[in-house]
Amino acid sequence: MEKRILGRSGLEVSAMGLGCMGLSYGYGPAVERQAGVALIRTAVERGVTFFDTAEAYGPFANEELVGEALAPYRDHVVIATKFGFKDGNVQAGLDSRPERIRAVAEAALTRLRTDRIDLFYQHRVDPNVPIEDVAGTVGALIREGKVKHFGLSEAGAQTIRRAHAVQPVAALQSEYSLWWREPEQEILPILEELGIGFVPFSPLGKGFLTGSITESTSFDNSDFRNIVPRFSTEARKANQVLVDLLTHQATARAATPAQIALAWLLARKPWIIPIPGTTKQHRLEENIGAASIELTPADLAEIEIAISRIAVQGDRYPAHLQARVGR
C-alpha cells in the first residue's frame, strides 16, 4: 500500500489506517477476541501499518486487543492511542491533568505490550487544563522516549495553534467525510499552514456511506448511533440521496460507495490518512481496496457539483457531546 507522512512530522504510515474502536466499543457488542486479533492481523498482511485505539474504548479492552494483535509486528506498525477522560470512562467527564496523562501513558504501554506509544492524542480538549500544560506534559514523555509524537482530537483552530507552539503536533484526528465537511472551513487551512497531518475518523459516516444502512435499519441497544440525530429515521431517509450519489459514482468505476467516499478523502490532501473501522473481513478488504482508486480532477469536480446540491440532515452529535468538540 502507498505510504503517506503525517504533515511535517516525519511519521510515515499506510495511506489507509484501521480504526479499532468498533471491535470493542461503540457499535454494539464487542467482537470475540480472537476474531478481533485475526482482523487486525489481516490488515497488517494487506499493508496497513497505522492502527488507532484509546483507553476509553472499552474502557481498556481495545488497547489490550490491539496490543495482543500487533505484538508480533510491533516494529513494523504505528500505534496511536489517546488520553483525556476520567478513569478512561467517556461518561465520567474530561481529565487531562498532567499526572493523569502520565498515568494513562504508563498503563497504555503495558496494555499495548510495547515500550513506546507512536502517536499519543488528547482525546478531547479539557477546558480545565491549559493546552500548554497538556502539550508540555506530552513533550516531556517524548523526551523520555515513552511517546514518539503528539496528537489532538476534535480540537479547534486556536487550540491547535497554542499546542503546536509548545510541542509540535504531528496529527489532528477529527471527523471528516462527504457528509461532514466542516473541517474545510478552518481546520484544513491551519493544518496545512503548520504542517500537521489529518486523520479523519468516521470517514464512512459511521457506516452510512457504505449504503448498508437504510431508514429501516435497527441498531443494537448499546450502539452509539441510537443517540445520534443524523441517524434518526427521518434523517436517514433524507440523507439517502448522498448514498445514491456515491452509488452512481461507484457504478461507473466498478467500485463500491464506500470506496468512492474513501478515495475522495485520499484525493483531498496528501497528508490525509483516513482510519475506517470495521468488524468484518470483507469490509476490511473493501476499504483497503479504496487506496488503489484514483479520482481524477474531473471526477472530483463532478462529485463536488453533485454534493453541492445536497443538504445533509441531522446533527452529527447530541448536544451534550457536541459541546466537547471544536474547543
Q: Render pLDDT for 190-234 as a digit per residue (tens, 0 to 9).
A: 999 999 999 999 999 999 999 999 999 999 999 999 999 999 999
Side-chain half-sphere exposure of 181, counting CA atoms within 13 A: 13
Query: How many residues in the chain?
Result: 327
Using CB atoms within 10 A of its CB, is residue 34 exposed (0-12), middle (13-18) or buried (19+)? exposed
- Find the mean pLDDT for residues 93-111: 98
Alpha carbon distance 80, 119 (integer Å): 4
pLDDT band at 27 (very low <50, low <70, confident <90, very high): very high
Domains present along the chain, CATH in parentheses: 3-206+269-293 (3.20.20.100)
- Find the mean pLDDT for residues 165-174: 98
Quick count: other Cβ atoms within 10 Å of Cβ 237? 13
- Location of C-alpha cell 462527504: 178
Closest CA to 61 of 6, 96, 22, 98: 22
Mean pLDDT of the chain: 97
- Find the mean pLDDT for residues 151-155: 98
Q: Render pLDDT for 34-88 as a digit per residue (tens, 0 to 9).
A: 999 999 999 999 999 999 999 999 999 999 999 999 999 999 999 999 999 999 9
Q: Render pLDDT for 256-289 as a digit per residue (tens, 0 to 9).
A: 999 999 999 999 999 999 999 999 999 999 999 9
Supply the residues annotated as catalytic: 57
pLDDT band at 293 (very low <50, low <70, confident <90, very high): very high
Closest CA to 111 of 39, 59, 189: 59
Quick count: other Cβ atoms within 10 Å of Cβ 215? 14
Closest CA to 202 of 221, 222, 230, 240: 230
Q: What are phi and psi of 4, to 5 degrees?
A: -135, 160
